[in-house]
């Protein structure tokens, strides 16, 4: 028995392929050099600011671990505040990964995703949505850290 | 003063790598993927003993990128394992990262409640 391919299905396949090549042609190439430059500069400046805070705390006699913890807390606060007043997202348009990778970007992801969901209420709207990006991040951090700890227990026993 | 330059250089390099990942790979790599990737790679490098040298050189340039958060989780876990064995694997990470996690939840929630998205 002769089986002919379903013409409608075949047409669909061709259309999808054509469409994808067209998208590849038309899509603007990300300006790699410019993006990289701004990511480097903005990310660098954020880390430099954090280092300045850390140096100040150390000069005031804080212990090394405490100074690092305080610095994280302050940077997280700044990230949340700047996201709230709308500055951080503007910065993100220029800086790209320069605003995502530092811990201020973690804080930005928490606030930005939660702010949109006030209409669902302060408990299951905002309260749940602060974890839409932070949740997966913490899950992977914890799982890997516990695994590494378990491996160490296994090796040293 | 030199610590500021090193923080700028190392921190900038971390962000540059993130930007290259976003621009050179599939467009479905979102900021969320970058954050998950950084904390995971940071935790793993830390377990292999490769992250601490970066913190020694770069200071906040290595501890402020989210990979530094993964480093804190792993180091806290390893230290607690030495003291308490397997129980430490479950308690050490959160203990070491407690201030950051709590600050992120509290400040994040408050900012989202107080401010409204701009349109």
Residue A102, SS3?
strand
- Residue B12 inside a domain? The answer is yes
At A80 the pLDDT is 98
pTM of the model: 0.88
Q: Does residue A1 have a pLDDT over 60? A: no
Res A34: pLDDT: 93
Query: Residue A136: is its pLDDT beyond 60?
Result: yes
Q: Are A109 and B35 in contact (CB under 8 A)?
A: yes
Q: φ and ψ at B65, to 5 degrees?
A: -55, 150
* pLDDT at A16 > cutoff 90: no
Total domain count for chain B?
A: 1
pLDDT tens-digit profile of A73-104? 999 999 999 999 999 999 999 999 999 999 99
Residue A93 CB: number of other CB atoms within 10 A?
Answer: 9
Look at residue B1 and tell me whether its pLDDT is greater than 90. Answer: no
pLDDT at B82: 96
Task: Output A30 or B57, whichever has higher pLDDT.
Answer: B57
A:64-93 residues touching chain B, CB 8 A cutoff: 68-73, 75-77, 80-81, 83-86, 89
The pLDDT value recorded for residue B66 is 97
Farthest CA pair distance, chain B: 52
Q: Is B69 close to A106, i.e. CB distance below 8 A?
A: yes
pLDDT tens digits, A27-60: 666 688 999 999 999 999 999 999 999 999 999 9
Please write the tens of the pLDDT for every residue from B26-55: 778 899 999 999 999 999 999 999 999 999
In a domain, B35, yes or no: yes
**What part of B 62-81 touches A (C-beta under 8 Å)?**
63-70, 72-74, 76-78, 80-81
Domain extent, residue B54, equals 2-114
Q: How far is Cα A69 from Cα B63, in angstroms, rounded to an integer?
A: 10
Q: Using the Cα atoms of residue A49, residue A53, residue A59 and residue A63 in order, give the sign of their dihedral.
A: negative
CA distance A149 to chain B (A): 5
Cβ(A149)–Cβ(B83) below 8 Å:
no
Give me the pLDDT at residue A19, please.
79
Neighbours of A62 (CB within 10 A): 16
Residue B119 lies in a domain: no
How many whole angstroms separate alpha carbon A42 and alpha carbon B66? 15
Crossing angle for the helix pair A32-59 and B2-24, to the nearest 10 degrees: 150
Helix ranges restricted to H, chain B: 2-24, 31-47, 51-58, 60-63, 66-84, 86-114
Cα distance between residue A132 and residue A112, in whole Å: 10
Determine the Cα–Cα distance for residues A136 and A82; give it in Å rounded to an integer.
23
Average pLDDT of chain A to the nearest whole number:
91
The residues that bridge with A102 in the sheet, in sequence order, are: B65
Rounded to a whole number of angstroms, the distance from the CA of A1 to the nearest CA of chain B is: 43
User: What local confidence, expressed as pLDDT, does residue A27 receive?
Assistant: 67
- pLDDT, mean over chain B: 95
**Cα–Cα distance, B56 to B51 (Å, whole number):** 9
């Amino acid at each position: 028995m002769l089986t002919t391919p379903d013409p409608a299905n075949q047409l669909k396949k061709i259309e999808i392929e054509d469409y994808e090549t067209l998208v590849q042609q038309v899509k603007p190439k990300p300006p790699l050099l410019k993006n990289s430059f701004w990511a480097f500069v903005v990310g660098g400046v954020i880390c430099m600011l954090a280092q300045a805070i850390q140096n100040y705390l150390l000069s005031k006699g804080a212990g090394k671990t405490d100074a690092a913890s305080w610095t994280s807390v302050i940077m997280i606060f700044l990230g949340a505040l700047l996201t709230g007043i709308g500055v951080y997202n503007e910065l993100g348009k220029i800086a790209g990964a320069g605003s995502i990778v530092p811990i201020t970007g973690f804080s930005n992801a928490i606030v930005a995703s939660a702010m949109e969901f006030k209409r669902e209420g302060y408990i299951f709207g905002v309260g749940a949505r602060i974890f839409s990006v932070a949740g997966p991040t913490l899950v992977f951090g914890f799982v890997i850290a516990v695994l590494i700890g378990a491996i160490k227990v296994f090796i040293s026993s | 003063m030199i610590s500021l330059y090193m923080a700028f250089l190392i921190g900038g390099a971390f962000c540059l790598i993130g930007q290259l990942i976003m621009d050179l790979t599939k467009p479905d790599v979102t900021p969320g993927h970058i954050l998950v990737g950084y904390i995971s790679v940071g935790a793993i490098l830390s377990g292999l003993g490769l992250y601490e040298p970066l913190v020694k050189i770069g200071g906040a340039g290595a501890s402020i990128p989210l990979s530094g958060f993964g480093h804190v989780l792993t180091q806290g876990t390893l230290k607690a394992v030495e003291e308490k064995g397997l129980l430490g694997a479950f308690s050490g990470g959160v203990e070491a990262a407690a201030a950051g996690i709590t600050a992120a939840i509290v400040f994040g929630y408050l900012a989202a409640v107080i401010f409204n998205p701009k349109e």
